[in-house]
Amino acid sequence: MAMKDFTNASDVCWQDVELGAVVTTPGSASVRRTGDWRTERPILDKEKCIKCGLCWLHCPDAAITPLDDGYFEPDLFHCKGCGICAAICPKKAITMLEEVEQ
């Protein structure tokens, strides 16, 4: 196996290590579920949304996905719940809702 086949450090054997430990798969760290970090999640009210894109633009985590219909959807797998999108939205169309344990 090669290092590029792994996403978990503890699975890599010495034989798998790439030359110079170079990581050759761009963006492979996106497997990490940083959504586990959050204590609040963004909820979008489509009625108020004007599709300005500012939430998408200001997300530090690229955790807002542009949809074909022009709306934007939080990527809950990655969203850390920082609340910047809610703070920046000019129409207050996003509210942060506390995550409750399932």
Partner 1 sequence: MSKRVVLEASHAVAEAVKMADVDLIAAYPITPQTHIPERLAEMVADGDLDAAYVPVESEHSAMSAVLGAAAVGARSFTTTAGQGLELMHEAVYVASSHRYPIVMAVCNRALSSPISIWCDHSDIMSCRDTSWIQVFCLNNQESFDMTIWAFRVAEDPDVMFPIMVNLDGFTLSHVTEPLELPDQADVDKYIPKYNYRLALKPEAPSSHGCFGLPEIYTEVKLAQEFALRASRPIIDKGWEEMSAMFGRSYKAIETYKGEGAKTLVVTMGSLGETAKMVVDQKREQGEAVGHLNIRLWRPFPFADFRDAVKGVETLVVLDRAISFGGPGGPVASELRSALYDVENKPKIVGFIGGLGGREIDAETFAYMIDRGNEIAKSGSDYLYEPILVRGLDTGTGVRG
Partner 2 sequence: MAPEFVKVGKYNIDAKEYLAEGHTFCTGCGEALAIRLVCKALGENTIISMATGCDEVCSSPLPVTSWRLPWMHTLFENASAGVSGMEAGLKAMMRKGKVPERDIKFVAMGGDGGTSDIGLQSLSGALERGHDFLYVCWDNEAYMNTGIQRSSATPYGAATTTAPAGKLSMGQNTQKKNMVEICAAHDIPYVATACPSYPFDLMNKIKKGSEVKGPAYVHVLTPCPTGWRTPSNFTIEIGKLAVETGIFPLYEIENGHYRFTVTPNTLKPVEQYLKAQGRFRHLSPGEIAKIQKHVDEGYATLKAKMAAFPAA
Q: Footprint of partner 1 on this chain (CB under 8 A)? A: 9-10, 12-24, 26
Q: How many residues bind partner 2 (CB under 8 A)?
A: 46
CA 92, CA 50: separation in Å to the nearest integer?
Answer: 10
Considering only residues 38-77, where is the footprint of partner 2 by CB under 8 A?
A: 38, 52-54, 56-63, 66, 68, 75, 77
Q: Positive or negative, the Cα torsion across 6, 41, 95, 71?
A: positive
List the structure tokens of 37. Answer: 């970090």
Q: Which residues contact 9 (CB under 8 A, 6 or more apart)?
A: none
| 31 near partner 2 (CB under 8 A) | yes
Q: Which tokens go with 3?
A: 């290092």
Q: Which residues bind partner 2 (CB under 8 A)?
A: 3-4, 6-9, 12, 21, 23, 25-34, 37-38, 52-54, 56-63, 66, 68, 75, 77-78, 80-84, 86-88, 96
